[in-house]
């Protein structure tokens, strides 16, 4: 019986060689997408949108999850929860979780968890190694166990040895993986190594969430610049803020409620850097800090684009800098022509706890954005949260440098003459219609709409 060619990214099964299958799952259904031997009866052709590709026999088997599928998803969900808890602690590496399980073949609801772990950059161990160590510390033998990992185990030497080899050495029988490694140079090699050594490999449960968690990593590894999320609070009639004459000077104007503002702190917590323009600083006098209360391994880098060094020495950013314990979390980017005297004044006002760098600018003084992103990439910033006003929203969108959008629509009406979402670009309404993987959620009295302009993952699946 002819065997199907085995793309490294799909499921392998050594249990039934005569019925070797390639299986892929998404969050809703389990698909058999190819099989050897006679076509199982009753199968429909797998639609292209579910991953069907010409050249293979494709089929969809059943939409009813089996107890084994339910157990797989539950263990993968736990691995994803562990990965999620490492926001702010894993970058510049991906967020990854792993759970080691002794399957109970007669009752999968009674599977035994042997060890679990997640990757934290400062602790070096990848999630698989952390889980193996926890299992050993608890006196569990993991031979014959199943590993649930949210990202393909690595097969190369980096800061640590290959995790695929560690799983093999530990005697893992089966490995369930949410998604492949987004690095095109190594994608599939970990799965191939496990498969070649006789481990049963399943790919796909939890893939949507695993990919969503690691959008910045997937983007950075391919493009070498940060994944940019544009976040804005927008009035129901599409404005960012009231006109300057209608508001108090240098005070934030809160459009959204406390629940939406808490979401913003989660976004800041999950970001390596935050960027705004001097227009926003002059209008709002913001602190721009991560006040999520959650631990992070490096401070949120706050970046201000201030071509002419107009930042007031009495601004909150500089007052906070005087008492800051970090010397490296406030970065002011100005034009090469910015007055030197202002630079000295700002350094003094911040008690030296500010970095001021000069970058290329247009004749009108607008900073060139690609060098800004290149500078952040050099500092290993994988994710950048853009929290700016209309001028910078417009500039980033115009240069197609925004990858994800998070909009908080408030029920408040601001009225004509207010500050537009984007000075010369699309309105917030038009923009949200362009999003892929668009999601809508109520957050207190506000409506949150998120979605992607660029998805770094699909080309890899
Ligand atoms: N609702 C929200 O979510 C939200 C968020 C942020 C801000 N806002 C509101 O937005 C308003 C401020 O808007 P804004 O447009 O003045 O502020 P902005 O976009 O934050 O800052 C604009 C300034 O950035 C500088 N800049 C440097 N490089 C640039 C480039 N390539 N392109 C464009 N600007 C560049 C320019 O400074 P120079 O003029 O010195 O050259 C420009 O004036 C305020 O009312 C604020 O409250 C609302």
Each residue of 150-164: pLDDT tens digit? 999 999 888 778 999
Nearest CA, atom 24, ligand 1: 277
Model confidence at 94: pLDDT above 70? yes
| Best probe residue, ligand 1, of 371, 388, 395, 399 (max atoms within 8 Å of C-beta) | 388
User: Closest ligand 1 atom, CA of 305?
Assistant: 27
Instruction: Classify each residue of 113-135 as buried b or exposed e, where b means 16 or more C-beta atoms within 10 Å of its C-beta.
Output: bbbbbbbbbeeebbbbbbbbebb
With helix as H, strand as E and coil as C, how does the chain read? CCCCCCCCCCCCCCCCHHHCEEEEECCCCEEEEEECCCCCCCCECCCHHHCCCCCCCCCECECCCCHHHHHHHHHHHHHHHHHHCCCCCCCCCCCCEEEEEECCCCCHHHCEEEEEEECCHHHCCCHHHHHHHHHHHCCCCCCCCEEEECCCCCCCCCCCCCHHHHHHHHCCCEEEECCCCCCCCCCCHHHHHHHHCCCEEEECCCHHHHHHHCHHHHHHHHHCCCEEEEEEEECCCCEEECCHHHCCCCCCCCCCCHHHHHHHHHHHHCCCEEEEEHHHHHHHCCCCCCCCCCCCCCCCEEEEECCCCCCCCCCHHHHHHHHCCCCCCEEEEEECCCCHHHHHHHHHHCCCCCEEEEECECCCCCECHHHHHHHHHHCCCCEEEECCCHHHHHHHHHCCCCCEEEEEECCCCCCCCCEECCCCCCCHHHHHHCCEEEEEEEECCEEEEEEECCCCCHHHC
% of the chain beyond a pLDDT of 70: 84
Distance, CA of 173 to CA of 147 (rounded, Å)? 8
| Best probe residue, ligand 1, of 391, 397, 422 (max atoms within 8 Å of C-beta) | 391
- Residue 404 Cα to ligand 1 middle (Å): 19
Nearest CA, atom 11, ligand 1: 389
- Residue 389 Cα to ligand 1 middle (Å): 4
Say how far residue 295 (Cα) sits from the centre of its chain.
17
Confidence bin at 55 (pLDDT 50/70/90): very low
User: Closest ligand 1 atom, CA of 408?
Assistant: 3
Supply the pLDDT for residue 114: 98
Q: Which residues are catalytic?
A: 128
Distance, CA of 98 to CA of 369 (rounded, Å)? 38
**In sequence order, what are the beta bridge partners of 405?**
230, 451
Q: Give the lowest-confidence range in 118-132, 233-247, 316-330.
A: 316-330
Confidence bin at 324 (pLDDT 50/70/90): confident
- Residue 391 Cα to ligand 1 middle (Å): 5
pLDDT tens-digit series, residues 218-248: 999 999 999 999 999 999 999 999 998 888 7
End-to-end CA separation in angstroms for the chain: 28
Confidence bin at 265 (pLDDT 50/70/90): very high
Instruction: Classify each residue of 314-350 as buried b or exposed e, where b means 16 or more C-beta atoms within 10 Å of its C-beta.
Output: ebbbbebbeebeeeebbbbbbbeebeeebbebbbebb
What is the average per-residue pLDDT within 434-457?
A: 96
- Residue 406 Cα to ligand 1 middle (Å): 18
Q: Which two three-digit tokens encode residue 99?
A: 């759970």
Q: Describe the strand order of the beta sheet including 301-305 as a list of residue ranges.
A: 355-359, 330-335, 301-305, 273-277, 383-386, 227-234, 404-409, 446-452, 436-443
- Residue 396 Cα to ligand 1 middle (Å): 11
pLDDT tens-digit series, residues 361-393: 998 889 999 999 999 999 999 999 999 999 999
What is the average per-residue pLDDT within 192-216?
A: 94
pLDDT tens-digit series, residues 59-73: 344 456 788 989 999
CB under 6 Å to ligand 1: residues?
232-233, 240-241, 253, 255, 276-280, 283-284, 305, 307-308, 310, 365-367, 369, 387-392, 395, 419
Question: What is the pTM (predicted TM-score) of this model?
Answer: 0.87
User: Closest ligand 1 atom, CA of 308?
Assistant: 40
Is residue 401 within 8 Å of residue 369, measured between CB atoms? yes
Tell me the average pLDDT of the chain.
Answer: 87
Nearest to 60 by CA among 87, 28, 90: 28
Distance, CA of 346 to CA of 167 (rounded, Å)? 53
Distance, CA of 65 to CA of 399 (rounded, Å)? 45
User: Closest ligand 1 atom, CA of 231?
Assistant: 3
User: Closest ligand 1 atom, CA of 276?
Assistant: 20
Is residue 373 within 8 Å of residue 226, measured between CB atoms? yes
Q: Give the lowest-confidence range in 35-44, 145-154, 214-223, 256-265.
A: 35-44
Supply the pLDDT for residue 56: 35
- Residue 240 Cα to ligand 1 middle (Å): 11
Instruction: Classify each residue of 193-214 as buried b or exposed e, where b means 16 or more C-beta atoms within 10 Å of its C-beta.
Output: bbbeeebbbbbbbbbbbbbbbb
């Amino acid at each position: 019986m002819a065997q199907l060619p085995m793309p490294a990214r799909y499921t392998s099964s050594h249990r039934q060689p005569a019925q070797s299958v390639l299986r892929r799952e998404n969050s809703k259904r389990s698909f058999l997408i190819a099989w050897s031997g006679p076509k199982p009866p009753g199968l429909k052709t797998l639609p292209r949108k579910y991953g069907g590709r010409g050249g293979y026999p494709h089929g969809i088997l059943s939409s009813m999850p089996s107890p084994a599928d339910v157990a797989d998803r539950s263990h993968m969900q736990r691995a994803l929860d562990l990965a999620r808890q490492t926001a702010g602690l894993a970058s510049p590496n991906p967020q990854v979780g792993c759970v080691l399980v002794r399957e109970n073949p007669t009752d999968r609801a009674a599977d035994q968890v042997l060890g679990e772990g997640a990757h934290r950059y400062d602790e070096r161990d990848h999630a698989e190694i952390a889980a193996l160590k926890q299992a050993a510390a608890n006196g569990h033998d993991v031979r014959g166990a199943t590993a649930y990992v949210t990202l393909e185990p690595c097969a190369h030497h980096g800061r640590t040895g290959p995790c695929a080899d560690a799983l093999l050495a530990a005697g893992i029988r089966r490995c369930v993986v949410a998604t492949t490694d987004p690095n095109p140079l190594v994608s599939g090699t970990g799965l191939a190594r496990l498969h070649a050594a006789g481990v049963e490999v399943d790919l796909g449960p939890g893939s949507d969430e695993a990919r969503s968690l690691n959008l910045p990593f997937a983007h950075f590894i391919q493009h070498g610049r940060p994944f940019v999320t544009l976040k804005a609070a927008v009035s129901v009639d599409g404005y960012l803020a009231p006109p300057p004459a209608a508001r108090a000077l240098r005070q934030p104007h809160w459009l959204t409620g406390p629940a939406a503002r808490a979401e913003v702190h989660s976004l800041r917590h999950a970001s390596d850097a935050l960027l705004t323009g001097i227009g926003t600083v002059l209008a709002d006098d913001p602190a721009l800090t991560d006040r999520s209360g959650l631990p992070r391994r490096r401070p949120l880098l706050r970046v201000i684009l201030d071509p002419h060094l107009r930042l007031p020495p009495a601004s909150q950013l500089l007052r906070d800098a005087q008492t800051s314990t970090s010397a490296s979390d406030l970065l002011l980017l100005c034009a090469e022509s910015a007055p030197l005297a202002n630079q000295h004044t700002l350094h003094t006002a911040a008690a030296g706890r500010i970095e001021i760098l000069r970058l290329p600018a247009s004749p009108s003084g607008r900073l060139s954005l690609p060098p800004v992103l290149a500078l952040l990439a050099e500092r290993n910033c994988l994710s950048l949260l853009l929290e700016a006003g209309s001028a910078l929203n417009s500039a980033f969108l115009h240069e197609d440098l925004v990858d994800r959008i998070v909009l908080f629509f408030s029920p408040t009406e601001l009225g004509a003459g207010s500050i537009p979402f984007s000075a010369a670009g699309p309105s917030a309404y038009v923009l949200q219609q362009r999003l892929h993987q668009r999601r809508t959620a109520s957050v207190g009295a506000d409506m949150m709409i998120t979605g992607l302009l660029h998805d770094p993952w699909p080309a890899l699946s």
